[in-house]
A and B are shown apart, each in its own frame.
Chain A
Amino acid sequence: MDKLSALLLLSLALFALGLLGVIVRRNLLVMLMCMELMLNGVNLSLVTFAQQTGTAAGAVLVFLIFVVAAAEIAIAIPIVLLLVRQKRTLDAAAFSDLKG
């Protein structure tokens, strides 16, 4: 198995781990962290493909994603804080007010 395949497998593992975390963990902060994990799995695959094709576009996109992720987390954390202030818990199951 060459290095590229190993890296791609790693990125897949990271993404799958993140997705699994989002689905099974109940803690909101952990879910956010798992989402970051998924993002970084994708980033890793982007960098790997950029290496493979020898172009800079993939690497540039990764930086863009970093910036966006930073902004996103800057909004997501306050939202979580506000939610916690409402219900005094981090359990995602508590926030099911939109139940149909």
Chain B
Amino acid sequence: MTSLLTLIVVLPLAGFLVNGTLGNRLGNRFVTVVGCGLPIASFLLAIRCTIDLLAGGSEPLLETAYTWATIGERTFEVAFYFDRLAAVMTLIVTGVGSLIHVYSTGYMKEDKSYARFFAYLNLFLFFMLLLVLGRSLFVLFVGWEGVGLASYLLIGFWFDDPEKARAGKKAFVTNRIGDAGFLLGLFLCYWGLGTLDMDHINAAFASPTPPAVSASLIGILLFIGATGKSAQIPLHVWLPDAMAGPTPVSALIHAATMVTAGVYLVARLSGLYAVAPEASQVIVVIGAATAFFAATIALAQNDIKKVLAYSTVSQLGFMFVALGVGAYGVGIFHVYTHAFFKACLFLGAGSVIHALGGEQDIRKMGGLAKKIPITFVTFLVATAAIAGIPPLAGFWSKDEILWFAFGSSRGGSPLLWAVMAATALMTAFYMFRLLWLTFFGAPRMDKEVEHHVHESPRSMTFVLIALAVFSAIGGYFDVPHFLSALPALPEPRAAAEGLEMPLLWISIAIALAGLGGAALFFGRNAARAIRVAPRLAPLRSLLAGKYFIDELYDRLLARPLFFISDRLFLRFGDRVLLDGTLDGLARLAQRTAGALGRVQTGNVHLYALFVAGGIVVALLWSFGHG
């Protein structure tokens, strides 16, 4: 057996170590070669492994890299498991990851911490591959925490800005809450099944004698972890703030790969979720609510990256809906198409920001289509893809999700379909709004800035073009079919029989309606939108304020915690209780010494008298006890 899988994982780690320790001394050219070369090597190895996998009749490749611990008869191994699902994810992670590495060479060129940036990116890739390829939940958890760490480091990459450092902390702490659920699920799983290998877990729940532990409980606990990592309600608050990091980071970690880890986790344990209807229902409800509310928030955001961030949250909701109604392959299909068009959108946004010298407010953009044509065209393709305009990639995956939301026999319903369709409409609307405000109409930036607008270097535009091409044609690769080893796609309900084609036409109509609506409101310098704006002011402020969830958490959680820490722990516990005890002891000793010191008069006669008295007492005592 070869050790190719181990090599896929370890190569980025080597990049991290080399760039992290020597990068600053060896110069940017060296950093570029190592930082981009190793991920690309990983990608090529992943292709090689996929070919091996397909040649071997889809028998999963297994590889034990290291035996972690042997306790009694049970062994904990760092083992890698490469089936079709892992193959898709590995190719996305290394492929899109490599492209974004290449893009970063242009985007981060001027940054003084160039080597550190690539070291962190490689570190992220290492942990992400550990997460995707790990056979046991344990290894997955190590990767899970590791990507959280890398995310923290990269959000706070420009840590001398306190706002950005705080965003990193927020992401980390919010994820920690989800991780508590994940850990509990992991413990429960081990307690109930005695194994953490995910293929064994799936097999155990599929067997005719299921284990005596509630699949739904494990499923819900693990899903709590997924809500943290994949930014679902109620733990979604960190992702929009995570946009403080450099734009390639937003594209790689907070759009294409890391945030889909929760989706991957559920799909990986599909055998468990298939027999956990309650957990699946929870997933559907959370996913649909997140998709809908995030989309409404995205309608009113003015920061180009914030719009994309909320659209990411919303699309992740779509994926979870697919998982919740049992269409695991379809969920991964959307992960796959989303990785392309969302990475393309973020990198395009990065290119816009780059062209405008750091401006992120879409109210100060406009009219960029002719000045940066390559960015514009690629952004247009990706926008159309996410909006679900056929025949681009997003259409295929989103339409399948909508169909299963309606027709799945495992939780599909017209209501769910209606919510998701409304979300799809909003998605198309806010994405084209973004496109219009950024690229069309009269320029709204300063003359000085306008003068300096320029297309990005070739290393960046090349990546944009590549991602736009995949956003366009990626949908023709039938991922759900490729992933047929997952539990079969659910049968349509009897009532949904024959409605597949009409629904497909409706979803096309929805996408075009979103496009038309955006054109109507934001065409001609957004004239109609400006006219309508005053009437919608309260709604707008609610949406622009993100439903004030941050403020709510601040009131309900952060402030009471702060109050308790300050009053109870600091002022009472530390200052009064601990310091008070010590000070009191010292004061007691001082006072006792003061009282006893009075005896020391310095008068020799008195001492002599004491001695004499002592002798007398001692003599009397000794006579008494004769």
Task: Tell me which of B18-26, B237-245, B336-344, B603-611 binds A.
Answer: B603-611
CB-CB under 8 A from A24, the residues of chain B are 605
Task: Say yes or no: A22 contacts B601, CB within 8 Å.
Answer: no
Chain B residues, Cβ within 8 Å of A22: 605, 608
Residue A95 CB within 8 A of the other chain? yes
Docked complex: B552-606 residues within 8 A CB-CB of A: 596-605
Q: Which residues of chain A have C-beta atoms less than 8 A from B598's C-beta?
A: 100
Q: Given the known inter-chain contacts A19-B612, A23-B609, A23-B612, please indicate yes or no for A95 contacting B597, CB distance below 8 A.
A: no
**Is A100 a contact partner of B612 (Cβ separation < 8 A)?**
no
- B605-A23 in contact (CB<8A): yes
Q: Does A99 contact B (CB under 8 A)?
A: yes
A13-37 near B? 1/0 per residue, CB < 8 Å: 0000001001110100001000000
Partner of A96, one of B596, B599, B602: B602
Check A72 for interface membership: any CB of B closer than 8 A: no
Q: Is A93 an interface residue (CB 8 A)?
A: yes
B602, B603, B612 interface centre (most CB from chain A within 10 Å): B602
Count of chain A to chain B residue pairs whose CB atoms are closer than 8 Å in the complex? 34
Nearest-CB distance from A47 to chain B (Å)? 22
Find A99's partner among B602, B605, B608 (CB 8 Å cutoff). B602
The reply on A92 being an interface residue by CB < 8 A is yes
Those of A61-100 within 8 Å (CB) of chain B:
92-93, 95-100
Most chain B CB atoms below 10 A, which of A26, A31, A93, A97: A93
Within the assembled complex, what's the spacing in Å between the Cα atoms of A19 and B615? 11
Residues in chain B near residue A99, CB distance under 8 A = 600-602
> A96: which B residues are within 8 A, CB to CB?
601-603
- What chain B residues lie within 8 Å of A23 (beta carbons)? 605, 608-609, 612
A100-B597, A100-B598 given; A93·B603 CB < 8 A: yes
Q: Cα distance A61–B608 when bound, in Å? A: 25
Instruction: Return A96 CB to nearest CB of chain B, in Å.
Output: 3
Residues of B within 8 A of A98 (CB): 600, 602
- Find chain B residues with CB under 8 A from A26 CB: 605
Instruction: Report the Cα distance A31→B599, complex, angstroms.
Output: 22
- Whether the pair B605, A97 counts as a contact (CB closer than 8 A) is no
B214 to chain A, nearest CB (A): 75
In whole Å, how far is B409's beta carbon from the nearest beta carbon of chain A?
94
In Å, the complex CA distance between A96 and B608 comes to: 14
Cβ contacts under 8 Å, A97 to chain B: 602
Q: Please give me the residue from chain A that is nearest to B610 by CB atom.
A: A23
**B476 CB → nearest A CB, Å:** 98
Q: How far is the CA of A68 from the CA of B608 in the complex (A)?
A: 21
A100→B600 contact, CB < 8 A: yes
Give CA–CA (A100, B609) in the complex, Å: 18
Interchain CA distance A92-B599 in the complex, whole Å: 17
Minimal Cβ-Cβ distance residue in A for B593: A100
Given A19-B612, A23-B609, A23-B612, verify A92-B600 contact (CB < 8 Å).
no
Cross-chain contact of A100 among B599, B604, B608 (Cβ < 8 A): B599
* Chain A neighbourhood of B603, CB < 8 A: 92-93, 96
Complex interface: chain A residues within 8 A of B599 (CB): 100
Which residues of B (262-282) have their CB < 8 Å from a CB of A? none
Minimum C-beta distance from A93 to chain B (A): 6
Q: Are A100 and B601 in contact (CB under 8 A)?
A: yes
Nearest-Cβ distance from residue A38 to partner chain B, whole angstroms = 11
A residues less than 8 Å from B609 (CB atoms): 23
Given contacts A100-B597, A100-B598, contact A95 B612 (CB under 8 A): no
Given A19-B612, A23-B609: A92 and B604 interface contact (C-beta under 8 Å): yes
Give 10 new A-B contacts, CB below 8 A, not counting A93-B605, A99-B600, A99-B602.
A23-B612, A26-B605, A92-B603, A95-B602, A95-B604, A96-B601, A97-B602, A98-B600, A100-B598, A100-B602
* Chain B residues within 8 Å of A, Cβ to Cβ: 596-605, 608-609, 612
For the complex of A and B, list the 6 residue pairs with the smallest distance between their C-beta atoms, beginning with the closest.
A96-B602, A100-B597, A100-B600, A99-B602, A92-B604, A98-B602
Residues of A within 8 A of B (CB): 19, 22-24, 26, 31, 92-93, 95-100
A-B contacts, 9 listed (Cβ < 8 Å): A19-B608, A23-B608, A24-B605, A26-B605, A96-B602, A97-B602, A98-B600, A100-B597, A100-B598
